């Protein structure tokens, strides 16, 4: 699923149990109940959110669902875009 539309969504930082297919120990995921943004989807965004805030911090970001050719859909927010800290 690809969308040209960006939405503002809520995400949080977390430590996944299995990091074998991911880079780094802390990742970002969407909060539940934000269809079509599934909380199991990978979020590509600013590393500042995972590096500079405690695990569990919630943020508001501008994002959309995209995929690389033939790949799994993921959520994309440009790394240089501003984000809002909702809760630390």
Whole-number pLDDT of residue 62:
97
Whole-number pLDDT of residue 31:
97
Whole-number pLDDT of residue 2:
54
pTM as predicted: 0.87
Tokens of 49: 């959110």
By C-alpha distance, which of 68, 60, 9 is closest to 36? 9
Give pLDDT tens digits along the chain (88 positions).
Answer: 555 689 999 999 999 887 666 677 899 999 999 999 999 999 999 999 999 999 999 999 999 999 887 788 999 999 999 999 999 8
Whole-number pLDDT of residue 38:
93
Which CATH code for domain 7-87?
Answer: 2.40.50
Whole-number pLDDT of residue 72:
87
Helix count (H) and strand count (E) of the chain? 1, 6
Token look-up 């990742």 returns 27
Q: Give burial (CB, 10 Å; 0-12/13-18/19+) of 77.
A: buried
């Amino acid at each position: 699923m690809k969308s040209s539309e960006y939405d503002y969504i809520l995400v949080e930082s977390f430590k996944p149990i299995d990091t074998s297919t991911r880079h780094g120990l802390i990742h970002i995921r969407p909060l539940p109940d934000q269809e079509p943004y599934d909380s199991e989807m990978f979020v590509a965004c600013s590393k500042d959110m995972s590096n500079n805030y405690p695990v569990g911090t919630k943020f508001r970001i501008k994002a959309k669902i995209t995929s690389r050719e033939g790949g799994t859909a993921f959520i994309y927010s440009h790394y240089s875009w501003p984000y809002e800290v909702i809760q630390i």
